[in-house]
Amino acid sequence: MKILLAMIAIAALVISFSSTAIKIEPCDTAECREYYKHFKLNAKRGQADAIATLAEFYYHGYGTPKNIVRAVKHYKKAARLGVVRAQYKAGLIHLINERFHDYDKGIKYLEKAAYNQHMNAMYLLGIIYYSDQFGEHDKAKADKWLARAFRYRHNDMPEFVDHMYSFEDITQENFPMLYAELDEKPLIKSKDNQLIWPEMDGTEVITVRAPDINEILSDQLKSFRRKIRRTGTRIPGIDCNAAVACRKLTVDEMKDSYWIVAGPVPNSN
């Protein structure tokens, strides 16, 4: 039980941020507060990814005080709008946060994320259904989600397969889908006798630098502006006077546009 809960707690720290996993730290600098302000503005405009990122800001205290209630509200809103990382995070919160603990809702959100190819959600569901500690022991479902996590090359799958082997064999009878994946893409033993992915056997790995959080946030804001411009007057029933892309901007909106492209607007005082 302790091992399983530890795995879920560790997974809770894995936050899918856009296409790159980046851990958001608490931040109260002027720049962080500016990011918070602009993401809040875009969230009010209905940008789904902005709503999800705003949830992260509330969860971690980035540019604003931590507020778990607002974080959950925005995660769920973004999840309803189809943001996969928000579906995953909402599921985690319902599983591990005492205030919002709701096992059924947690599984529901994780399954939404998993069906949308979220690798960590697949892996967690596999662990949960494999265990008999949650009242959901279901080998067929465990087999399905662990096989998918394996197919997507989840980093922790070799270790968990090793864990499974310590209790039982993985055969075509008890875990047919995972067995098929293992048969097609066998794991290998490391020098210390641990199962690992074949590409981790000492061959050279090219490391690609991940963009920092400022790059990701700035790129997101720019993408919101592009979406607004593309919308134009093509929305049925909305004329140019009502459309953000072609109507006159307010002073605040002009500042917002400038800040997204060029950075914070200097204080005139």
Q: What is the DSSP string of 134-166?
A: SS---HHHHHHHHHHHHHTT-TTHHHHHHHHHT
Tally of residues, the chain: 269
Report the range of poorest mean pLDDT among 2-11, 182-191, 239-248. 239-248
Taking the model in full, what pTM does it have?
Answer: 0.76
> What backbone phi and psi angles, to 5 degrees, belong to 250?
-75, 170
d(CA 158, CA 9): 19
Token pair recorded at residue 120: 């960590």
CA–CA–CA angle 121, 127, 129 (5° rounding): 100
d(CA 218, CA 260): 7
pLDDT digits (tens, 9 = 90+) for 135-176: 678 999 999 999 999 999 999 999 999 999 999 999 999 999
Section 184-201 average pLDDT: 88
pLDDT digits (tens, 9 = 90+) for 21-71: 457 899 999 999 999 999 999 999 999 999 999 999 999 999 999 999 999
Which of the 8 DSSP states describes residue 62?
Answer: B
Q: What's the CATH fold of domain 1-116?
A: 1.25.40
**List of residues 6+ apart from 256 with CB closer than 8 A:** 38, 41
Q: What is the mean pLDDT of the chain?
A: 80
